[in-house]
A and B are shown apart, each in its own frame.
Chain A
Amino acid sequence: MMSRAARYARYQRDDRLEISLFPFLSIFLCVMGVLSFINVLSSFSAPQKIELTAQLETGYKVAYQIFSLPDGVISVPPTKHLRQLQAVLDDADKEIIDVIIQQRKQKISNLKNHTGSIMNAAVEPDIDDILDTVHDIRTLNELALKANYLYEEFILFGIYPNGSQAYQKIRDVMSLTPDSAAISIGLEPLDSNWTLNLKKNQSK
C-alpha cells in the first residue's frame, strides 16, 4: 500500500507544466546571427551603389552637369529655375530663354527615352554642341545679371574612369571661345558604379 504523501508526489511530478525555452532561444540566436552577418556584409560591400542627382545647385549657383565617360559624354542641363528667370525678363529675352528651355527639355527627354542603362547614352562630344552649350550658359548668366535675378550656371564635370579623353576635348574647345571665360568650372572624380538617376530632383 503506497502512502498518501508518496502518491501526491508522483501526481505532482507527472502533471507539472514544463516550459522549454529552446524554440525562443533558437529564434533569438538566429535573428542575432543573421543581423550580425548582414552588418558584416554591409560593411565589407564597398564600393557602394550610389546614384547621382540630375539637378544640382547650391544657393543661386546651378550646375550644368557633364559626365565624361570612356565612350563620350552625357550632358544633363538644368531646367528647374529657368521659367522663374524667364518671368522677370522682357519679351525679347523671354524668347531666347524659351528656345534654350525647349532645347534642354529635348535633351533630357532623349536621355529619359534611352533604352537600357543611362550610362550607355554617352555620345562623342561635338564641337558645335560644346560651343552652343557654353554660349547658352553665358547668355543665361548675363540675362540673369541684367535682370538682377540671382541665378548663375556653371559647368560641373563628373569624370568617370577612362573618361578623361572627352573631358580634355571639351576643355580644349572651351579654351577657344571667349564665352567660357566667364563661366565657372568644377570637376569631380566618379567611380564607375556611381550611376546617374534622372528621376531624382529633376524638374517636371
Chain B
Amino acid sequence: MKNLISLDSLTDIVSNSVGILIIFAVINLIHDNNKTYQLEIPLEHETDLSPVFFISKNDRILAIDTDTIFANATSQATSKAAANKRLFSLDYFGLLGKIDDKKGISFFARDTSEWPEFKEIEKRSSTLRDSLDKLDPTKQFAYFFVYDNTEDGSSSGSGFEAFRKTREYLKSRFIKSGWQPVNSESPANICSRSTSRRCVYQPSYLGGGKSGSNPNNSLNNENKSDNKAQ
C-alpha cells in the first residue's frame, strides 16, 4: 500500500514546471526590456496628386464621396441650421456637417454602424476594398482623418488600427497616404488653402511597395518623389 501512493513523480513534475516557468519569466523580462521601436519617418511633402478623403473611427473606415457630400451640403446651405453654423445632416452614412468660414465644411461622425469595418480589407470583394482599389496612384493619394479617442480598455485610438492596416494595404498598391488626428472637438474638415493656412492635405506615408516598411527606404523614396515634383 505504501508503494502505491508515491508523491515523488508529482513533486518532480510540479517542481520542473515551476522552475521552467520562472526561467521563462526572467527571459521574457529581459527580452521586454530590450525591445525598442524606431518610429517610421513619414514626412509630409508637396504633391501634385489630389487627395481622396477617408474617416477612420471605431475600427471602421468611411470613404468620403466629396461630390455627393458637397452636393448635399449645398442643398442644405440655404437651410436655417447651416446658415446658423449649426450641425445638419449630410445624408451620408450618418455624417453631420457644419459650415464655417475658416474651417470650410466640418464632419461629425457620431453613428458609425453603417461604415465598413477595416477587416473587410482582407476580403476580395468588399465596399472598402473596392473604394481603395479605385484610387489611381498616378493621380490620387489617400488622406485619412483618424479619430484618436479611446474605447474602454483599449490602448489605441479608435481609428488608429484601422488607419495603420489600410495604410499598409495602400502602400502595397503604391498609393501614398497622409493623415491627421481628429476628435469631436477638432473634427475632420475640408477647406480651401485660401481660407486658412492649416487647410493643407499632404501625403506623408509612401506607396513604396512591400520593401518600403524600412524607414530608410521611405525617406529615399520620398526624396525621389520630391525631386520629381520639382
- Complex: how many Å from CA A167 to CA B148? 11
Mostly, the B contact residues are mixed
A161 touches B150 (CB 8 A): yes
Whether A189 touches B157, Cβ cut-off 8 Å, given contacts A162-B183, A167-B181, is: yes
Which B residues between 12 and 33 are near A, CB-CB below 8 angstroms? 12-13, 16-17, 20-21, 24, 28, 32
Q: Does B163 contact A (CB under 8 A)?
A: yes
Closest to B41 in A: A58
B181 touches A63 (CB 8 A): no
Q: Does A171 contact B (CB under 8 A)?
A: yes
| Interface segment out of the listed B42-50, B106-114, B121-129, B130-138 | B42-50
Whether A52 touches B181, Cβ cut-off 8 Å, given contacts A30-B16, A161-B149, A189-B146, is: no
CB proximity of B153 to chain A, nearest CB, Å: 11
CB proximity of B188 to chain A, nearest CB, Å: 11
| Contact residues in A for B32 (Cβ distance below 8 Å) | 49
Taking residues whose C-beta sits less than 8 angstroms from the other chain, chain B's interface range is 35 or more
| Contact residues in A for B28 (Cβ distance below 8 Å) | 38, 42
Chain B residues within CB distance 8 Å of chain A: 9, 12-13, 16-17, 20-21, 24, 28, 32, 35-45, 146, 148-150, 154-157, 160, 163-164, 179-183, 185-186, 196-198, 204, 215-216, 219
- Complex: how many Å from CA A30 to CA B14? 9
One of B36, B44, B45, B181 near A163 (C-beta < 8 A): B181
CB proximity of A183 to chain B, nearest CB, Å: 10
B43 touches A186 (CB 8 A): yes
A197 touches B36 (CB 8 A): yes
Q: Does A98 contact B (CB under 8 A)?
A: no
One of A38, A164, A184 near B45 (C-beta < 8 A): A184
Q: Does A165 contact B (CB under 8 A)?
A: yes
A154 touches B156 (CB 8 A): no
Q: Does A61 contact B (CB under 8 A)?
A: yes
Pairs A-B, 10 closest by C-beta atoms = A164-B181, A161-B157, A175-B197, A189-B160, A161-B150, A50-B37, A192-B155, A191-B156, A186-B43, A184-B43
| Interface segment out of the listed A21-29, A77-85, A89-97, A127-135 | A21-29
Whether A168 touches B186, Cβ cut-off 8 Å, given contacts A23-B12, A31-B20, A175-B197, is: yes
A27 touches B181 (CB 8 A): no
Q: Does A188 contact B (CB under 8 A)?
A: yes
| Contact residues in A for B183 (Cβ distance below 8 Å) | 162, 164-165
